[in-house]
Amino acid sequence: MVLSRWDPYTQATSLREAMNRLFEESVIRPSALDHTSAGAALDVCEEGERFVVEVAVPGVKPEDVDVSILGNTLTVRGEWPARPEGRQYLHSERGEGRFERTITLPSEIDRDRVEAHAEHGVLRLVLPKAEAARPKRIQLPVGS
């Protein structure tokens, strides 16, 4: 039989981890109860001097999507189309009604150079970083 010494620093759960687990297991998110207010799924990536955000908005017309930028905060709003009346659903996961997603990016955006394109139910936003947020190379004088 091998005995090992108990090390509380490596084997105990931190208070933060315990509280996070408690909240995750006990808090019911409103969107989990009501699919009519589900948010749109999105992906965010950084490509050099810009961010690219892709938002899944199937069934939503591009003109019915509102995109706004304030500093480094992006908000996408819209409305899922109403379901056809008279149907008896056996299972339904698609949202209905208004949706809104707000994300905070790591740096400010150059709002004048934003590009948007919608195709096949995906809204693609190309968000160039503001000039002040880009790294600037400082030339050092050589010799004296």
Q: What is the mean pLDDT of residues 10-24?
A: 70
106: closest CA among 131, 72, 74? 72
Return the CATH fold of 35-83+95-134. Answer: Immunoglobulin-like (2.60.40)
Domain boundaries, the chain: 35-83+95-134
42-76 pLDDT, tens digit each: 999 999 999 999 999 998 999 999 999 998 999 99
The pLDDT, as a whole number, for residue 33 is 44
80-100 pLDDT, tens digit each: 888 888 998 888 887 788 999
| Exposed/middle/buried for residue 25 (C-beta within 10 Å: 0-12, 13-18, 19+) | exposed
Q: What is the mean pLDDT of residues 4-22?
A: 68
